[in-house]
Structures are given as structure tokens and as C-alpha cells.
Homo-oligomer: A and B are copies of this chain.
């Protein structure tokens, strides 16, 4: 049998990317201006620092978190950069059209706030990408990212318009939305060839450390991620609570992730991939619950439970998902983002119910449940639709043998030069 090469994307990716970039530049030409009157210089300094923390999380954190696969490091970090760069441009436009900031006369105005929101929308696309890593080519990833951002912004628009939801709360559904979206895409795109476990789906010493980098950058800057959109003037106390709460929750998560990983292993050894993901679960859970958390110990308890659930999920649920539902989740986004997110949602509900009168509590519960159901439905429906669209063979997915392998997309000069 002749060696099978992965199908060339030469006629697909450059065309799609050129086209999209040209459209983006035209849309920016017609609609986008730079906001020149950022209200206050002190606020700008603060926002710029927060923006950079998030910028590092998006490009360095998510990028290197996905480098753990032994032969997929170039794709993991490279495609992350491609997708995030595109998703940000698209999110600036979508946010500007659907969720205009203030009563600007016309057009979209770029400000620190709009850029931070665009980066958070890109984050939801990167979460979704985690589920399909290695089984899709960059054209599919690019299209998925753009649809995901569109869906996520529409979801926010629905929540804000129909339910008058708080902008902060609606954007923090990004973990749940992104994870479920990605899992549905992965479910539709499932193929037998990566069952039960693909031979290249493992880590080695180097890739484990590269992924550790990504984890640490996400872990260290998560307080900024959660607190960046908390308004600085009116809710200064909330901002402090979010920063310290996220910090403590993540500290507890790490300890619990390591303990549970060791406890559930038959040989008493820790699993690096599980730890890297579960250590972050505290940050996810707090991000959904944060407006209701007022005491450090509550944040720590949420981090405790999130890491417990997440680590147990990695150990026991990931393989069952593959066998029972034929759903393969490369980076385990279900256990890393969806389950801690849902835990945070429950914690939010519980804390509010515990601290309110009954009538207000009931009203809040209804609203809270509606937000959750709408988000879940939107993400499941749009994820399935996107999966079906990406299944089209026109997009030239790689063969099963070329899954989780950089060789399908990247030149390796060491194979062509004389040695």
C-alpha cells in the first residue's frame, strides 16, 4: 500500500483566511473607530494591565495547555494563535453590532472594555477547540471558532434582552457554553479510528512540561480573568472579593487535584494531564458564582468541591463518555470547564437562596434556571449544527492515522535536509 499523505489544505485554508481577513478589514473600515475618550487615565492603566493578563492567558495559557499531546505541539499552540487572532477580530465586530457599549452615535468604538470582551469571547471558542483538538484540520477549526463566537454573542444578546441578565454574568457562561459546544461538535465528528484510545494521544516529559506552562499562566492570571469586567468604580468591593476569592479557590484546587489524582490511581501515582486540568477548575467555578461569594472560606470550599468533581470526572467519566456516547473529548473540556461551571452555577443559586427572602429567592431561582437552560440549549443546538457542517468532506479532514499528528500540517525541516 502506498503511504497515505494527509490531504493538502493549500486550496482551502489560504483562500478562506484571505477572504475572511479582507472582509474583516472592510468591516473595520466602515464601522470601527478607536475610542479616544477613555474616561480616565487611572482606569486605563488598570484596564491595560488586566487586558494584558487576559491576553497572556488566551495566547500563552490556552496555547500551551494544548501542547501535551506528544506529536501535536506545533498544532496545539499554532492553531490556538490562528483561531484566537481571528476570533478576536470577529468578536469585536459581533459585540459591536449586537451588544453596543453605550449610546454611541454610530459605529463600533474600540476601547479596553471592548477588547477584553472580545478576548473572553475568543476564550469560549478556545474552550470549544479543546474538545476537538487533533481530530480536525485548521480550516474546520477556523470555521468552528467563528460560528462559536457568533453563537456565544447571540446567546449573550438573548440573555440580556429577554432576561435583562447582568452583562458580567452572561459573559461568564463562556465556560459552559464553550465546553458543551465543543463536546457536541466532537460527538458529531466522532470516528471509529480514534477508539478506544489513539496511539498518539499521550504525553511525554517535554510536552508535559510545555503544558505545565500553559496551565501555570492560566492559573496565575485567573484572578484578573474573573475580575476584569467587574466595574471598577461602583463595585470596588466586589472586585476585591473576586480577586482574593479566585486566588484562594485556585490554591485549594491545586492541592485537591493532586490528592484526588493520587487517591484514585491504583498505583498511587499522579496523572499530569488530570492535574493540569483540575487545578484550574476552581477558577471556572468561581467565575460563575462570583457575584454571590462574599467570604474567603466559601471561595475555598467551592474550589475544594470543583477540583474534587473535576478530578473524579477525569479519572472515571472521560473514558465512559467515549464508550457509552462515542464522544471523544481531547482536552477533557467537559470535566475542566462544563462540570466546574455547573457546580459554580449551583453554588451561586444556593448562596443567593440562602441569603434572600423567599419571594426574591424564587424570582431569582427562576431567572437563574432560565439563563442556564437557554445557554445549554443554544450551545447544544449550535454545536450539533456546526458539527454537521464541518463533517462535509469538502473541508478535507485528515485520515484517522494522521490524527493528533503535526506531520499532517507542518513541515519538519529535519526530515528534508541532509543529515
A105 to B347, CA, bound (A): 31
Residues from chain B with Cβ under 8 Å of A296 in the complex? 28, 32-34, 110
Q: Please encode chain A, from 19 to 50, with 1 for each CB lying within 8 Å of some chain B CB and 0 for all others.
A: 01100111011001111101001100110110
Residues from chain B with Cβ under 8 Å of A42 in the complex? 41-42, 45
Spot the interface stretch: A164-172, A186-194, A205-213, A320-328: A205-213
Interface presence of A63 (CB below 8 A): yes
Some 11 contacts from A to B, beta carbons below 8 A apart, are A10-B263, A17-B255, A18-B259, A24-B300, A32-B297, A34-B241, A73-B209, A74-B209, A77-B212, A89-B251, A197-B418
Contact surface of A with B, Cβ cutoff 8 Å: 5, 8-11, 13-14, 17-18, 20-21, 24-26, 28-29, 32-36, 38, 41-42, 45-46, 48-49, 52-53, 55-56, 59-60, 63-64, 67, 70-71, 73-74, 77-78, 81-82, 85-86, 88-89, 110, 115, 138, 197, 199, 201-206, 208-210, 212-213, 216-217, 219-221, 224, 232, 236-237, 240-241, 243-245, 247-248, 250-252, 254-256, 258-260, 262-263, 265, 267-273, 275, 279, 295-297, 300-301, 304, 406, 409-414, 417-419
Interface of A is mostly: helix
18 A-B pairs besides A14-B263, A34-B296, A203-B412 with CB distance below 8 A are: A17-B258, A21-B252, A28-B296, A36-B237, A42-B42, A48-B243, A49-B49, A52-B53, A52-B220, A59-B216, A63-B216, A85-B254, A110-B244, A197-B418, A199-B417, A204-B412, A209-B210, A269-B409
Q: Which of B115, B220, B221, B414 contacts A204 (CB 8 A)?
A: B414
A3 to B21, CA, bound (A): 55
Q: In angstroms, how far is the closest chain B Cβ from the Cβ of A125?
A: 14
- Contact between A268 and B32 (Cβ–Cβ < 8 Å)? no
Residues from chain B with Cβ under 8 Å of A212 in the complex? 63, 74, 77-78
In the complex where A28-B297, A45-B42, A204-B414 touch, is A10 in contact with B260 (Cβ < 8 A)? no
- Contact between A300 and B270 (Cβ–Cβ < 8 Å)? no
In the complex where A42-B45, A297-B32 touch, is A81 in contact with B210 (Cβ < 8 A)? no
A271 to B295, CA, bound (A): 49
Q: Which of B28, B81, B252, B409 contacts A254 (CB 8 A)?
A: B81
Q: In angstroms, how far is the closest chain B Cβ from the Cβ of A230?
A: 13
| Nearest residue, chain B, Cβ from A239 | B44
A152 to B220, CA, bound (A): 25
Q: Which of B81, B210, B216, B250 contacts A216 (CB 8 A)?
A: B81
Q: In angstroms, how far is the closest chain B Cβ from the Cβ of A24?
A: 7
- Contact between B74 and A205 (Cβ–Cβ < 8 Å)? yes
Residues from chain B with Cβ under 8 Å of A273 in the complex? 413
